[in-house]
Every structure is written in C-alpha cells, then in structure tokens.
Amino acid sequence: MLDRDFQADKPMEKLVTVITYLYFGNCRLYLSSIMDLYNLEIVAYTISECQNTDFVLNTLNQLELPQGVLLHSDQGSVYTSKVYYQACTEKGITRSMSRKGTPADNACIEWFHSVLKSETFYLHKWRNLTKDSITEIVNLTSYFIMKLEFNRN
C-alpha cells in the first residue's frame, strides 16, 4: 500500500518500521524503530537483547495513533505474527508490507539505520557501551538526522 510513496501530507499519516542489529564489541542489541514519513522523525523505538513480538509491540504501544494510519514494515516474522496483526487491527492501523527481499520498499527507515550505524557504531570502535549509552546515541542521531532533513526541505 505504501508502494514507495514516501511523502506524507500530515504527521502520523504514514509510518514505517523495521528492526536492525546494533553491534558493539562482542555484544549485539536490537533496535525496533518507527519513523513518521512526514518529517522523518523517529517517533518510537525500543532497544532489546532479543528480537520477538513483544519487542515490536513495545515500540508500537508507545504511540497514540489516529484511525487508519498507514504502518509499513518488512515481512519479518515479528510483523507477520498473529499477535502483531491483532494489535494493529485493534489500533485501527492500516498495514503495508514490503515485497520479500526488497529493503528499498522501506528505504527511509533503512537509510536512517544505515546512517545511525555508519556514523556511530562503525565509525567508532566502542567496546564497553551500556544499553543507556546506546539509547543516548540513538536519541542524538535521530534528532540530528531529523533536523538536517527538515532544514533541507
């Protein structure tokens, strides 16, 4: 349903979501984030040691969403689960999914995760980060990316 139309006319009209891995030292965490396509703001995210349906529901439940909001994701098992489908239905969310193996269908949030990792975790070889410091890195990166994109438009 999104069909690579990444323009939104108002806030909370079109959202995109995906999970990425955050590697640092010998550790790995998962980041589930939701981006508003209106201004490329990360409106919700969760960081966890495990990737499961509760993890993405935690991210989704951070938001009060208008009826009919479009939420686009990939076809990962957490997004195709019955529990996630039911939660979206109860919230009045219109679901949209990328074609299999086509990350370009979710390009905006894939781009955000790429910038987040390349400008922080890959650029600096941090070894001893805590979950709190990673949360702060995600906060700062999402803030600066949103400001850069907003000023560019």
Contact status, residue 31 vs residue 20, Cβ threshold 8 Å: yes
Residue 131 covered by a domain: yes
Quote the number of domains for the chain.
Answer: 1
**Structural domain that includes position 102:** 14-150
pLDDT of residue 112: 84
* pLDDT tier, 33 (very low <50, low <70, confident <90, very high otherwise): very high
**Half-sphere exposure at residue 28, Cβ-oriented, CA atoms within 13 angstroms:** 5
Residue 103 covered by a domain: yes
The mean per-residue pLDDT over the stretch 35-63 comes to: 93
CB atoms within 10 A of CB 22: 20
Which of 69, 60, 67 minimizes the C-alpha distance to 37? Answer: 69
The mean per-residue pLDDT over the stretch 34-43 comes to: 91
What is d(CA 54, CA 8) in angstroms, rounded to the nearest whole number? Answer: 28
Residue 9 covered by a domain: no
What is d(CA 65, CA 93) in angstroms, rounded to the nearest whole number? Answer: 8
Token code pair at residue 49: 């040691």
The mean per-residue pLDDT over the stretch 54-81 comes to: 95
State yes or no: pLDDT of 21 exceeds 80: yes
Which of 152, 148, 146 minimizes the C-alpha distance to 38? Answer: 146
Among 14-28, 89-103, 131-145, the range scoring the smallest mean pLDDT is 131-145
pLDDT of residue 80: 95
Per DSSP, the three-state class of 61 is: coil
Residue 2 covered by a domain: no
Give per-residue pLDDT as tens, 119-140: 776 666 666 677 777 777 777 7
Residue 89: give its domain's CATH number: 3.30.420.10
Residue 35 covered by a domain: yes
pLDDT of residue 123: 62
Residue 3 covered by a domain: no
Residue 7 covered by a domain: no
Residue 68 covered by a domain: yes
